[in-house]
């Protein structure tokens, strides 16, 4: 009998899917488990079609919505700040975003809040025009901007945004904006397909608020593990997908792209497996006529600070 020859080419085959992970958990990159976001640029000017698409997909992926040059300007300003802190490898051109070996990049959104270039990209021009058209009225954006700079390491755990910003209208949308062209290995955002339709299954989670605590329980009994609720839906993106179904969807994002999604859409970050920094922001938009979550509004938003804590009997 002729033995079946096994060739060990999978890891070097250029067509092999990249090895992806979320918070250290390997993800199955086969077509039934992982896929690419559907682009909605074809309906970008049609508010009715955009709303239908949002209802259907739970997200709108809009390649090239923003002015690429304006996004690049923001990237450069942010990289200059990070280089000033000694985090960038100065043997490479700054624009490439290569980190100094071993650089530990802290999450410091407040450092970037007042960057004029960032505010211009997010709160004027094409972005605001898009939301006026999509929402059909005057738009209010949160004053707080989540600007993220991530080096090699774990991506954001799966969650829905409602648990962080659910004290106002539920018709609130997140815009996730990359400041750099990103390979999948560099840690872009993923959406869990059809997760926005899982409201009933996720009901208990979606009703939560990260800043609420139970006045009738001791501090170490607030959650079963005593660690407190940080907003994550799961520590394991792979088993979460198996339980909820659907595929993890992402993209090879380019500067100028925006990904918009609902408060009940499950999303997570891929791990950054490279030495290049992943820069992105998330910002929020709603109708000005609807109530807003007070934690994120004003000159100096209280965010998740002590003034945001809310005691409940539970």
Ligand X SMILES: O=C(O)CCC(=O)C(=O)O
Q: 183 and 275 in contact (C-beta within 8 Å)?
A: no
**Count of chain residues binding ligand X (CB under 6 A):** 11
65 or 189: CB nearest ligand X: 189
CB of 102 to ligand X, least distance (A): 22
Decide if residue 149 touches ligand X (CB under 6 A): no
Residue 148 engages ligand X in binding (rule: CB under 6 A): yes
Report the SS3 class of residue 263.
coil
Does residue 195 touch ligand X according to CB under 6 A? no
Q: Using CB under 5 A, list all residues that contact Fe ion.
A: 161
In the complex with Fe ion, which residue's Cβ is closer, 161 or 211?
161
Could you say whether residue 276 binds ligand X (CB under 6 A)? no
Annotate each residue in 231-270 with x if it binds ligand X (CB under 6 A) or - if it does not, as one string.
------------------------------------x-x-
Rule CB under 6 A: is residue 176 a binding residue for ligand X? Answer: yes
Q: How far apart are CA 26 and CA 271, in angstroms?
A: 10
- Length of the chain measured in residues: 314
Q: Which does 264 bind (CB under 5 to 8 A by kind): ligand X, Fe ion, none?
A: none
Which SS3 state, helix, strand or coil, does residue 132 take? helix
List all residues 6 or more positions away from 304 whose beta carbon is below 8 Å from its beta carbon: 164, 210, 211, 295
Rounded to whole angstroms, how far apart are CA atoms 183 and 250? 10
Nearest to 278 by CA among 139, 97, 56: 97
The binder of 269, among ligand X, Fe ion, none, by C-beta within 5 to 8 A per type, is ligand X
Quote the CA–CA distance of 115 and 94 in Å, as a whole number.
18
148 binds, among ligand X, Fe ion, none (CB under 5 to 8 A by kind): ligand X
| Rounded Cα–Cα distance for residues 68 and 80 (Å) | 18
184 interacts with ligand X by CB under 6 A: no
Q: How far is the CB of 16 from ligand X (least distance, A)?
A: 25
Tokens 């025009």 map to which residue? 129
| Nearby residues of 226 by Cβ (< 8 Å), 6 or more positions away | 220
Spell out, one character per residue from 96 to 115, where the chain touches ligand X: x when CB under 6 A holds, - when not: --------------------
Which residues sit at the interface with ligand X, rule CB under 6 A? Answer: 148, 155-156, 161, 174, 176, 189, 267, 269, 280, 282
């Amino acid at each position: 009998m002729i033995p079946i020859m096994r060739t060990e080419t999978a890891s070097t085959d250029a067509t092999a899917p990249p090895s992806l992970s979320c918070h250290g958990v390997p993800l199955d990159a086969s077509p039934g488990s992982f896929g690419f976001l559907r682009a909605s640029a074809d309906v970008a000017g049609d508010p009715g079609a955009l709303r239908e698409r949002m209802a259907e997909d739970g997200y709108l992926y809009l390649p090239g919505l923003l002015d690429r040059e304006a996004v690049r300007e923001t990237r450069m300003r942010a990289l200059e700040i990070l280089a000033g802190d000694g985090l960038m490898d100065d043997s490479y051109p700054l624009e490439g975003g290569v980190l100094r070996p071993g650089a530990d990049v802290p999450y410091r959104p407040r450092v970037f809040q007042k960057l004029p270039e960032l505010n211009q990209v997010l709160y004027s021009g094409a972005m605001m025009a898009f939301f006026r058209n999509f929402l059909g009225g005057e738009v209010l954006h949160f004053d707080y901007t989540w600007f993220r700079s991530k080096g090699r390491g774990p991506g954001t755990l799966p969650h829905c945004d409602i648990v962080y910003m659910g004290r106002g209208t539920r018709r609130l949308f997140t815009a996730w904006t990359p400041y750099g062209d990103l390979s999948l290995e560099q840690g872009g955002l993923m959406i869990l397909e059809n997760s926005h339709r899982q409201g009933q299954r996720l009901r208990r989670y979606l009703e939560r608020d990260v800043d609420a605590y139970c006045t009738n329980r001791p501090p170490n009994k607030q959650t079963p593990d005593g660690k407190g609720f940080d907003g994550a839906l799961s520590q394991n993106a792979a088993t979460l997908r198996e339980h909820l179904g659907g595929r993890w969807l992402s993209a090879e994002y380019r500067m100028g792209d925006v990904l918009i999604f609902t408060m009940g859409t499950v999303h997570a970050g891929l791990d950054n497996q490279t030495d290049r920094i992943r820069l992105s922001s998330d910002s929020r938009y709603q109708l000005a006529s609807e109530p807003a979550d007070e934690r994120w509004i004003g000159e100096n938003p209280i965010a998740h600070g002590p003034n945001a804590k809310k005691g409940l009997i539970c």
